[in-house]
Amino acid sequence: MNEAHREERLQVRGGPRAHTRIVLIALAATATVLVFFAVATLRNAPEAFPAIVAIAVLAVVLDLVWERIRPEQPAEASPAQST
């Protein structure tokens, strides 16, 4: 699989088959599952809950740091736009 094809597969909303409604339903379902997981963990294993929160916060912080230190990449036209 070449690099251009891999990038094309990673585009969620840029593809012709990604419908906003389906993406929003998937995000809502994911958020619902995470909330149920958090509540169940808090009730059944409260000692593990701070670790889950810490991991979530660490993930957000690392993502923000990565966005700042990542070198700028030139914008390339997708194969569909270049024809």
Least confident of 4-8, 51-55, 65-69, 75-79: 4-8
pTM across the whole model:
0.54
**Residue 47 three-state SS:** coil
User: Would you kindly state where each structural domain of the chain is located, as residue ranges?
Assistant: 3-69
pLDDT tens for 34-69 read 999 999 999 999 999 999 999 999 999 999 999 999
pLDDT computed for residue 13 by the predictor: 55
Q: Which amino acid does the sequence have at 48?
A: A
The type of residue at 70 is R
Phi and psi at 52, nearest 5°, equal -65, -45
pLDDT band of 70, cuts 50, 70, 90: confident
